[in-house]
Amino acid sequence: MFGGFFEKLKSGLTKTKDGFTDKISEMLNLYVTIDEDLFDELEEILITSDIGVETTLEIIDRVRDKIKENKVKEPSKVNDCLKEVLIEMLGNEVNSIVPEKTPEIMLVIGVNGVGKTTSIGKIAAKLKDNKQKVILAAADTFRAAAIDQLEVWSKRAGVDIIRHQEGSDPAAVVFDAIQAAKARKADVLICDTAGRLHNKKNLMDELGKINRIIDREFNEAKRQTFLVLDATTGQNAVQQAKQFMEVCPVDGIILTKLDGTAKGGVVISIKQQLNIPVKLIGVGEGIDDLQEFDARAFVEALF
């Protein structure tokens, strides 16, 4: 575990820690015995940390079992049981964004304003640092701002970008980007796509068309679809993910703006309710503040 990485994670989770684990510790200090009132208060803190009702009930059940199993008598030790439960629920996964085999094509989806374009720029920089050749495709052609913003990030990360005019066909951009990726022997092609959830039919058609182009033109590439969610929206992010999952398969979640919210508990909710791995988390504004998600490190930083 890198010291710097952990410190950054810890400071990025300060707001969640204040509203979640610190609150639990304070609450447990007021109890002399482990009773129903204690569980009720614990439940309330978990729900207000945006862990969600379903996931909270599951956590409480598991904590009860753990207390019995470990014959815990002191309220202060409940914290250790909770920590163990959260690590078990999140799994021991440490995610890497660096592809195992290349070429790889990443489709990045998500509604406007969640930090999609910024995340793509940061992923590109991370991969380039890892000696990967990266090309970006500006296939969110619905907004000129999205294309321009991606261009800025391509310059910052020092990678190529394929772009068309605003309003052009996103699948045509992806087609051209695939040809460029083949010609330039790129390792990873990252496609920014539009995220207009209020018009699911259009989104479905658009992603369907893009996927058919990839099938036909770049079948040898490993394909992954990443959904970008904004942690500050808490349980709404979970609902958004469910809606996107109706439209297309999702291989991983990129959770942004964790440093700006006390709702970091949503990570547990996403894992529990959607069973999709959280691949990357954003814990700051800097180009290297998008970190690969390490479940154990995340829980350790919270406690």
Q: Is residue 143 annotated as involved in ligand binding?
A: no
Take residue 104 and report the two structure tokens written for it: 């790889």
- Rounded CA-CA distance 73/34 in Å is 7
118 is in an annotated binding site: no
- 114 labeled part of a ligand binding site: yes
The CA distance from 249 to 226, in Å, is 9
237 annotated ligand binder: no
Closest CA to 96 of 274, 293, 299: 293
Q: Is 53 within any annotated ligand binding site?
A: no
Is 80 annotated as ligand-binding? no
- Please state, in angstroms and as integers, the Cα–Cα distance from residue 278 to each residue in 80, 141, 210, 283, following that order: 24, 27, 24, 14
Q: How far apart are CA 15 and CA 138, in angstroms?
A: 34
116 marked ligand binding residue: yes
User: Is 102 annotated as belonging to a binding site?
Assistant: no
Q: Please tell me the distance from the alpha carbon of residue 109 to that of residue 193, in angstroms, as a whole number.
A: 6
286 is in an annotated binding site: no
- Size of the chain in residues: 303
Distance CA 39, CA 47 (A): 12
Indicate the DSSP class of residue 281: E
Q: Is 258 annotated as a binding residue?
A: yes
Task: Determine if residue 195 is labeled as part of a ligand binding site.
Answer: yes
Radius of gyration over every alpha carbon of the chain, rounded to an integer in angstroms: 21
CA distance 292 to 282: 9
Check whether 284 is labelled as a binding-site residue. no
Cβ–Cβ < 8 Å for 16, 49: yes
Determine whether the annotation assigns residue 194 to a binding site: yes
Annotated binding site: 110-117, 192-196, 256-259
Annotated binding site for GTP: 110-117, 192-196, 256-259
